[in-house]
Structure 1
Amino acid sequence: MKAPNRSMFVIKRFLKEYLDLRKDKDNELATVESIRRGVEFKGANLWILIFAIFIASLGLNVNSTAVIIGAMLISPLMGPIMGIGLSVGLNDFELMKRSLKSFLITTTFSVATSTFYFLITPFTQVQSELLARTSPTIYDVLIALFGGLAGVVALSTKEKGNVIPGVAIATALMPPLCTAGFGLASGNFVYFLGAFYLYFINSVFISLATFLGVRVMHFHRKDFIDKNKERTVRRSIVFIVLLTMCPAIYLTFNIVRATIFEQKVNRFVTEQLNFPNTQVVDQKIRHRGDTTEIRVVLIGEDVPEASIFIARNKLEDYGLVQTKLLVVQGMNNNGVDLSSIRAMVMEDFYKSSEERLKGQQERITSLENSLNSYKLYDELTQRIVPELKVLYPSVKALSIARTIETRVDSMRMDTITLAVMKFSSKPTQSERDKITEWLRARVEAKQLRLIVEKD
């Protein structure tokens, strides 16, 4: 019995040694004050947010990921969200009121700014970066949760590092707000609700992560002299938390359920609608009351109705209960979603073009490097000639070039520098060695071979 106890002791000691957060914990008051400062949104902070929203909206409009990332690095949007989580963890009702007020102000200004931009911009086409912010998935929830945990742990350590900008990028709070503004500007309330839904979920789970971090690291809660006031504050905080978390929990449950359902549909389509000489070009899921319809577009040879009937009978085997399968075949069928097919073709064309351009760019870079090496030796030769006239008056001509030498016996290839020199009278072996060493140092060549000719 001693061996298992000893093993458990060693494991506990190991975990305590490497996973204890309190070793790197900064002064608690400094951490709390740092988060408190980020809560306030007045003057410069608010203007920075407005400019960042403009930049993010531009990035979404022109489909530039780099511009969107830059805007997220600028934005100070994380402050009020982390402040809400901190206030719950510390039982600080005043901080909660300030954080919620700032959160509402920042959200309102962000949506208003992005709406204004998309109302005046001449570019109205919906880009892929905009579409990506209209429907949250379970991955967005997990990213927000773990990103928030990383943020609060980083803020509580002595060496803050660059974690907070990384959390701001990973959790992507700004793009959904800009997409919500686009939805309002274009009158597309589906986009607005989907994007705002994503923003709300991210905000709630970042706050939840901050709350968990504060409790795990045992931050001191706010003490009240008046116990009645303390009870009132706690009840108020619990009420606000429940008011916020209940919709978030319900929405997250729906996200998880939708993600699991989509995985089942993808597995069903991959395994049961995989026919020779036929390809699935589009699939969509439509919910209609208690039933769900899977609409699949096939291109290529027509699949017999009997095969489709067999696939329909296997829907329940994949957990797709009360689900209908609609298969669209033939390019002349009016049910074919040509816009989806066109988008897929354009995406494939873009990818192939991008790969081809990348290959051409690499080849151009290689040729430019080779050309630069030739130019380098031409310039070196011109600079060396005057020095050679002084050091070796018998030199009549000089040529320097880089070449590849291949060993016949082993096929080994080496890059060497050749120097061909013509003399009015051939130098001695000792002079050749000196000239070789001088040239090697002068042209900075690892391997240099001197060829001597008599003029």
Structure 2
Amino acid sequence: MKKIYLLILIFLKDRFNLSHEQEDHFETIKSIEKAIDFRGINVWTLIFAIFIASVGLNVNSTAVIIGAMLISPLMGPIMGLGLSVGIYDFALLKRSLKNFTIAVVISILTSAIYFTLSPLEEAQSELLARTTPSIYDVLIALFGGLAGIVAGASKEKGNTIPGVAIATALMPPLCTAGYGIATGNLWFFLGAFYLFFINTVMISLSAFLIVRFLKFPLKSTSGDIYSKRIKKYILIIVTITVLPSIYLGYQIIQQSIFKSNATIFLIQEMSFNETPIINKNFIHSYTDSNAIEVVLAGKPIEEEKYTELKSKLQKYSLYKTKLILKQGSENIAQVDMGQLKSGIIEEIYKKNEVALQDKEMKIKVLENEIISLRGKQIPIKNISKEINALNSDIKIFSAYRTASFNITTNKMDSILIVYMQTKNKIERKDVTMLENWLKKRLEYENIKMIVE
């Protein structure tokens, strides 16, 4: 048992050992240091990348945003922060902080200028997605940063760093913060900048952890003096960063559950033929009660039915939820026509999609049935010649498959009906012989013989 344990241990150590492909520590430090400074080409690359990302956010194009993240040089000073703290190089820390600040200011100003000049003012989904960070963003940034620094410390860097840049998404939050400044929306600015702060802290923490784990040489000889103080500061910063994200993550989950339950409630309890729903709005509140607003057309719902619907809310775990029904021409007139059109188109699309999927499924079943039947087709001409060779009295041969239902056992089955017309009457033993031959020839057991 001990031997097996040692073999497993040796195997795992060999598989997870980083030293085989590890770059020289000084080469890795030099490589990260080179990417820290923001001047010349790096500054212009950042400005162009910010413009590209801002356009992508403005027109809601994911592909354009990804392209901007691939050419962004923002990762350099962030990795430099983690590295400098990990090796106690405080001169490098100051340099990283300085360049990091320059990069952030340039990014926010550039995006703010673009969104001030852009005629498209409406916040698209790509912009909105950067305003509500959660604990999941913390995890993405942490694991992305770990992947980045491990790849950076290896001999073959590969394409991990661009992948980390896309996964952690450093640029879109900064562009969204610029949008918040341009439109005067403080919540957009704070939410987006908090997301960027999460990414920065977690990537720096990842770099710090891997640098210490791989035992990079310390720059300062007074490492032991600063060790406890640095760890304390890291703990405080990480705690301040993570705690709000846990709360926001919880709220996002609660909101998702509420919307899901509300949708099920409307489908199950409010599908009326004479009173169609023309618009709905789910209002989730972090502090107060939630609400389901429904605009109805057609025959008005009576007060008794309305009370019954409200009593059923708890059945769908919709506690502390108000059901607000808006009926009549006045309420319908107040509906945003753009939103109404969008809702109707979405509903039509969903129904068409379901209908198409149903048709596609039926077509597939029929195709499989045709293929199956083709495989089971009886070669009547060939069988007729062969059976005539066995018994020359047979002048007509016919065979076809059909369904049979056993009333006693209540089971459905298939049966092969064989009809033969003979010149002269043939004996029962000859019929049995032909039946057995057909069973082997056609590989089918359930055969019914009719001979005339």
TM bin (shorter chain): 0.5 to 0.7
Which digits, 9 at most, give the CA deviation of each residue in 1:215-241, with x for residues without a partner? Answer: 2323233341xx4xx566546645653
Matches within 5 A, 1:243-258: 244-258=237-251
SS across alignment from 2:121: coil
Corresponding residue of 1:328? 324
Aligned counterpart, 1:209: 206
The gaps in structure 2 that reach 5 residues or longer are 272-276, 355-373, 377-452
Matched, 1:114 2:111: yes
Q: Is the alpha carbon distance of 1:262 and 1:9 closer, same or farther for their aligned partners in structure 2, counting shifts above 3 Å?
A: farther
> CA offsets, 1:299-358, max 9 Å, x none?
67956423433434875xxxx9xx621222345585997576555455567889999xxx
In the alignment, what sits opposite 1:282? 281
Q: Counterpart of 1:168?
A: 165
Aligned to 2:234: 241
Q: CA deviation at 1:156?
A: 0.8
Amino acid of the structure 1 residue aligned with 2:249: V
The structural deviation recorded for 1:56 is: 0.9
- Measured against aligned partners, the alpha-carbon deviations of 1:123-147 in whole angstroms (never above 9, x if no partner) come to 2232222222211133222211111
How far residue 73 of structure 1 moved from its aligned partner, in angstroms, is: 0.9
By how many angstroms is 1:72 displaced? 0.8
Q: Aligned to 2:44, what secondary structure does the other structure show?
A: helix
Matched residue SS, 1:136: coil
The aligned amino acid for 2:246 is F
Corresponding position of 1:51: 48
| Structure number with bigger Rg | 2
Shift of 1:277: 4.5
Task: Kindly state the Cα deviation for residue 214 of structure 1 after the two structures are TM-superposed.
Answer: 1.8
Partner residue of 1:103 out of 85, 92, 100: 100
User: Does 2:307 match 1:305?
Assistant: yes
Cα distance change of structure 1 residues 170 and 343 upon mapping to structure 2, 3 Å threshold: farther
Which residue of 254, 258, 265 corresponds with 1:265?
Answer: 258
Aligned to 1:129, the other structure's residue is in SS state helix
Q: Please, what TM-score do these two structures have when normalized by structure 2?
A: 0.67
The one-letter code of the counterpart of 1:88 is V
Q: How far apart are 1:52 and its partner, in Å?
A: 0.8
Counterpart position of 1:396: none
Determine the structure 2 residue equivalent to 1:425.
none
CA distance in 1 between partners of 2:258 and 2:162 (Å)? 37
In structure 1, distance between residues paired with 2:291 and 2:250: 19
Question: Can you list the C-alpha shifts for 1:279-316, whole angstroms capped at 9, x where unaligned?
Answer: 8943232123xxx322223467956423433434875x
Q: How does 1:414-425 map to 2 (within 5 A)?
A: none
Give the match for residue 450 of structure 2.
Answer: none
In the other structure, the counterpart of 2:132 is 135
TM-score scaled to structure 1, two decimals?
Answer: 0.66
C-alpha distance in 2 between matches for 1:76 and 1:62: 23
* Structure 2 counterpart of 1:67: 64
Per the alignment, residue 435 of structure 2 pairs with none
Query: Deviations along 1:187-235, whole A, 9 cap, x unmatched?
Result: 11111111111111111111112222222323233341xx4xx566546
Between the aligned partners of 1:44 and 1:346, the Cα distance in structure 2 is 47
Residues 272 and 311 in structure 1, CA contact (< 8 A), matched pair in contact too: yes
Aligned to 2:144: 147
Contact 1:154 1:163 in 2 (8 A): yes
- What is the CA–CA distance in structure 2 between the aligned matches of 1:106 and 1:24, rounded to whole Å? 32
Match of 2:291 in 1: 295
1:123 pairs with one of 117, 120, 125 = 120
Could you tell me which residue of structure 1 aligns to residue 190 of structure 2? 193
Task: Give the Cα separation in 2 of the matches to 1:354 and 1:309.
Answer: 33
Change in CA separation of 1:286 and 1:343 when aligned onto 2, cut-off 3 Å = farther
Give the conservation status (yes or no) of the 8 Å contact 1:282–1:340.
Answer: no
* CA RMSD between the two structures: 3.5
Q: 1:19 maps to what in 2?
A: 16
Partner of 2:416: none
Q: Which amino acid aligns with 2:268?
A: F
Percent of aligned pairs with the same amino acid: 44
Residue of structure 2 equivalent to 1:179: 176
Which amino acid is the alignment partner of residue 311 of structure 2? F
Paired with 2:321 and 2:142, the residues of 1 have a C-alpha distance of 36
Query: Which residue identity lines up with residue 275 of structure 1 in the other structure?
Result: Q
Query: Take 2:204 and 2:344, find their aligned partners in 1: how far apart are those partners?
Result: 42
Aligned partner of 2:88 in structure 1 is 91
Q: Give, in whole Å, the separation in 1 of the partners of 2:341 and 2:41.
A: 46
Measure the CA separation in 1 of the matches of 2:167 and 2:351: 28
- One-letter amino acid of the structure 2 residue matched with residue 12 of structure 1: L
Match of 1:371 in 2: none
State the shift of 1:22 in Å.
1.6
Once the two structures are superposed, the pairs formed by residues 218-237 of structure 1 within 5 Å of their partners are 218-224=215-221, 227=222, 230=223, 233-234=226-227, 237=230
C-alpha deviations, 1:139-195, integer Å up to 9, x for none? Answer: 222211111111011111111101111111111111111111111111111111111
Alpha-carbon distance change, 58 to 346 in structure 1, aligned in 2, over 3 angstroms: farther
Task: Tell me how far 1:110 sits from its aligned partner.
Answer: 0.4
Structure 2 CA distance for partners of 1:109 and 1:235, relative to 1, 3 Å = farther
* Counterparts in 2 of 1:272 and 1:26: CA distance versus 1, 3 Å: same
